[in-house]
Structure 1
Amino acid sequence: MAGQYDEKILKIKRLHDKDDMAIKDDVYIPLVTKRSDLKPVEGKHWTRAERKQWAAGLFTGCAVLYACRTVTPLCVAAMAKEMGWDKTQSGSVLSSFFWGYTMTQFLGGYLADRIGGDVILPIVAVFWSMITFWTPQLAHLSTDKYLTIQFIVLSRVFLGMFQGFHYPSFSSIISRKVSEQERSFTYSFICSGSHLGTLLCGSIGSILLETFGWQSVFYFVGLCSIVWMLCMRYLVIERHRRKYAQPPSVSVSDNTILAEKFPEKKAVPWLMLFVKPAFWSLLVGHFCENNAFYILLSWLPTYFHENFPDAKGWVFNVVPWVVTMFSSVFSGWLADHMLSKGWSVTFVRKFMESIALCGTASALVFLSYTSTYGSALVLMAIAVMCCGFHNSGILVNPQDIAPTHAGSVFGIMNMAGAVPGFVGVYMAGHILEATKSWSAVFNQTAGVCMFGWLVYMIFGTGKQIV
């Protein structure tokens, strides 16, 4: 069938059979391969230009991913006012995202390690983009308040399920395609896109919210996500595949023509991992840091709306994420710089995580005692900014301790890290409903941060354990 096969003519000089029964000169052997058999070259790091292209694409992907994730926290106050939700119901809507997010972390890492994160990313992006775009329609399917909440909660669960594939997938890509000396900066740069997405959603989204209503924010963010998915799929991933796709290479040894052998995927040594304290310290530290981050991410707009009702949304929804984006990139540069100067990977990871956990905890404690808008904005910005150092600490640590299984290990770690997304966010709403006290929420969150810091300082490591 035309177009389905490529014919390659191989000229082999003096091909001998094993028994030396025949000697032939200038043997021409046709090699016919299917186009579908063309495979990308494995085991090579990206060139500098390729790393920039992929980093830019994945950075933008994290931006639209978080824009889709944070559009509901941005609009929840307006949605609650329109639909008559109380704090507990708003907490259920916000936390339901993480019910689904927890389910697919391990599966995302496993599939990324097996078939490639570049295959997974555009597929799941189609679903979480469309769910975001159609959320306003789901909210108006029924006039019954409780049925509407069920529709919104269900859509948030599915949004979380599909977004759960994203981080394990690109973590698997980075661990294979970026060298250890450049990994911290590349990873933290890509992750800083999440803060840009939150920033843009908070700024542009606040303007759309005040001008056109909360529905317009969902339409805008969903459309941007669809555009990114198409660009990533056809301008980055497809171009990379075409560049490196090639038929199995041929080697001649006596009379044997061998196809190129691709390395076999090894099973993840879970039993060995589960008895290592360093692995469990990752889970505990990530859990505690994410508990603070998700509470701030979900409840920050509500905190300012309630305590400082005259404050401009585009200010308090923007300032914390501007500084955090720079702190995330800076932490990656600082980590790579320290490694290049001879500091151990273990020390660098623990140093970055100390800034993240201790800095966030300190800012939250001070925030519980402040009463002015200016000081609250500064302390909130510091708390969120310190979270950016987590990207060069625990978040990149799976690539240190298990470089060949980074996607799967990251999936397990992020599954644990997603639990406070629904437990912590829901409990924050419940505490607010019961006590009417933001100080209780902030102090409890700071205590959890300090517990995670202590565990990681004692048991964490940057050495390969599997």
Structure 2
Amino acid sequence: MSDIESEAVGRTTDNKAVRPRIPTRYLVLALIFTITVVNYADRSSLSITGSSVQADLGFSTVQLGYIFSAFSWAYVVGQLPGGVLLDRFGARRVYAFSLVLWTLVTVAVSLVGLITTPVLIAVTILFLLRLLLGAFESPAFPANARVATAWFPTAERGRATAIFNSAQYFATALFAPIMGWITHQFGWRWVFVMLGVLGLALAALWLRWMDSPRNHPRVTAAEFETIRSGGGLVDLDAPKDGSTAEVQPRAPLNATTIKQIFSARALWGVYITQYAVNALTYFFITWFPVYLVQGRGLTLLEVGFVAALPAVCGFGGGLLGGFLSDGMLRRGYSLTAARKVPSVVGLALATSIGLCNLTDSSVVIVALMTLAFFGKGIGALGWAITTDIAPPEASSFVASTMNAFGNAAGIVTPIVIGYTVQATGSFTIALWFVAAHGVLALIGFAVMGPIKRIRFNSA
């Protein structure tokens, strides 16, 4: 909290001292963090329940790999339309609509196979539901980035994006044991029912409470000035006249501005890096629990708790990376150094996942996975970098293109691992494949060059 804010909230109009209250932007961050936790729990739920679903419905390993990948096919395709919708209508309405739809799809998964169904039909239905889940979740992370751009000054944005990005790790740490226990005690279907209830409750909260910094009734003048003067794009989803009317639709992108976006070197570096980081992510949220069951012989109940260990360290690494980055900015380092140094160090650590092939000890393997996930968390600053370089006129479009390229890894990684495991009967090649993406991420940072905001050239 800034000195201006502390002074403003530390007294009332009649000069009676009161306890300083939490700035509204931190509550906004807590809300998008919570929604993102449930978002990742929804998309990773099939990895925890996968072995039970496979046994119950009779899927093969390759079929399970395709079902794992279905989410990303639609998620990638949905990024650009989602970004355009966010730029036109703002995060509040688009995010709420998206949240309700993906929650209904999550609940529908619980109904698959309730009536005796041939395996191929069950596979097809589940594949289609995962496609819908990917399509409806596609605006979520660009919306998070848009909210962070509007609500946080530049010097706090690394922490803000690190916090909502670290929700993916917290989701696994929190929900993997819960989902494993529910599956063990009551069956896999109840996992999806639970997630549905949580999603609908969050959608109602979002619609009731969320607004832009200019229009939010809880934002003080001091906090608004802190955000605005520090580089927050406070009018990103608010009318330019400062009224409290609904945000007006924005003009669509044209060919000239899109060409300038895709000719930016920094963005191509982000695309490469985000693809590599997400390859590591999708291994952990798809095949990692299956690896523990089929490759290491753990029970499903054990997997729920063991999978939480790397996730806890990934969560800690994610927070550490954001705080280190913002701390370097405050100490006078350039934006490029502040974003790249933690990222490079973290993703170098992430390559340690390949060392799992050199030991048969389950304890050592879990330790190495934990180290790799910790490093990946530190290095996952792609969203902070995107908010730093995206032009204001197309912030969500740029965020969506980054997310589309990054989540192409969610298509490739589950399928490649599914085929290699079925062909070789082990996860050896799969682990080397995943580790190689840590090196690819480092190449992406070299391509990226200096980090600075893209400005459109006037036509």
Q: Would you call these one fold, judging by a TM-score over 0.5?
A: yes
- Pairs within 5 Å for 1:57-96: 57-96=31-70
368, 386, 396: which one pairs with 1:398? Answer: 386
For 1:303, the equivalent position in structure 2 comes to 291
CA contact (8 A) 2:159 2:323 kept: yes
CA distance 1:249–1:330, shift in 2 (3 Å): closer
For 1:15, the equivalent position in structure 2 comes to none
Separation in structure 1 between the aligned mates of residue 322 and residue 426 of structure 2, nearest angstrom: 36
| 1:402 CA drift (Å) | 1.8
Q: Tell me whether 333-342 or 275-284 shows the greater mean CA deviation.
A: 275-284
CA contact (8 A) 1:356 1:387 kept: yes
1:465 correspondence with 2:451: no
CA distance 1:249–1:397, shift in 2 (3 Å): closer
For 2:420, the equivalent position in structure 1 comes to 431
| 1:237 CA drift (Å) | 4.2
249, 254, 263: which one pairs with 1:275? Answer: 263
122, 132, 144: which one pairs with 1:158? Answer: 132
| 1:132 CA drift (Å) | 0.7
Deviation sequence 1:241-285 (CA, Å, 0-9, x none): 5628999689xxxxxxxx9x9997684722122222222111111
RMSD of aligned residue pairs (Cα, Å): 2.6
CA contact (8 A) 2:321 2:343 kept: no
| 1:83 CA drift (Å) | 1.6
| 1:103 CA drift (Å) | 1.3
Q: Greater share of strand residues, 1 or 2?
A: 1
Separation in structure 2 between the aligned mates of residue 249 and residue 166 of structure 1, nearest angstrom: 26
CA contact (8 A) 1:118 1:173 kept: no
Q: Which has the larger radius of gyration?
A: 1
For 1:13, the equivalent position in structure 2 comes to none
For 2:26, the equivalent position in structure 1 comes to 52
CA contact (8 A) 2:89 2:248 kept: no
Deviation sequence 1:153-208 (CA, Å, 0-9, x none): 00000000001110111211211221101101111112222222222220111111
1:169 correspondence with 2:159: no
1:348 correspondence with 2:322: no
| 1:121 CA drift (Å) | 0.8
For 2:198, the equivalent position in structure 1 comes to 224
| 1:438 CA drift (Å) | 1.2
| 1:378 CA drift (Å) | 0.8
Q: Tell me whether 397-406 or 112-121 shows the greater mean CA deviation.
A: 397-406
| 1:421 CA drift (Å) | 0.4
| 1:365 CA drift (Å) | 1.6
CA distance 1:248–1:178, shift in 2 (3 Å): closer
Separation in structure 2 between the aligned mates of residue 456 and residue 408 of structure 1, nearest angstrom: 21
Q: Gaps spanning 5+ residues in structure 1: where?
A: 1-46, 251-258
- Give the alignment's TM-score, normalised by structure 1: 0.82
Separation in structure 2 between the aligned mates of residue 303 and residue 310 of structure 1, nearest angstrom: 9
Separation in structure 1 between the aligned mates of residue 171 and residue 30 of structure 2, nearest angstrom: 14
| 1:458 CA drift (Å) | 3.8
49, 56, 71: which one pairs with 1:97? Answer: 71
CA contact (8 A) 2:324 2:342 kept: no
Aligned residue type for 2:328 = M
Aligned residue type for 2:310 = P
For 2:403, the equivalent position in structure 1 comes to 414
For 1:293, the equivalent position in structure 2 comes to 281
Q: Any idea what SS the aligned residue of 2:104 has?
A: helix
CA contact (8 A) 1:78 1:214 kept: yes
Aligned residue type for 2:315 = M
1:382 correspondence with 2:371: yes
Large movers: runs of 4+ above 3 Å: 235-242, 244-250, 261-268
Separation in structure 1 between the aligned mates of residue 139 and residue 127 of structure 2, nearest angstrom: 19
CA distance 1:240–1:142, shift in 2 (3 Å): farther
Separation in structure 2 between the aligned mates of residue 49 and residue 451 of structure 1, nearest angstrom: 39
Q: Any idea what SS the aligned residue of 1:343 has?
A: coil
| 1:460 CA drift (Å) | 3.3
Separation in structure 2 between the aligned mates of residue 208 and residue 372 of structure 1, nearest angstrom: 28
Q: Any idea what SS the aligned residue of 2:451 has?
A: coil
- Pairs within 5 Å for 1:13-28: none
CA contact (8 A) 2:83 2:400 kept: yes
| 1:403 CA drift (Å) | 4.2
- Pairs within 5 Å for 1:72-221: 72-221=46-195
CA distance 1:236–1:307, shift in 2 (3 Å): same
Percent identity over the alignment is 22
Deviation sequence 1:345-392 (CA, Å, 0-9, x none): 11122212213321111x11211212111111111111122221233x
Q: Tell me whether 102-111 or 302-311 shows the greater mean CA deviation.
A: 302-311
CA contact (8 A) 2:239 2:248 kept: no
CA contact (8 A) 1:109 1:172 kept: no
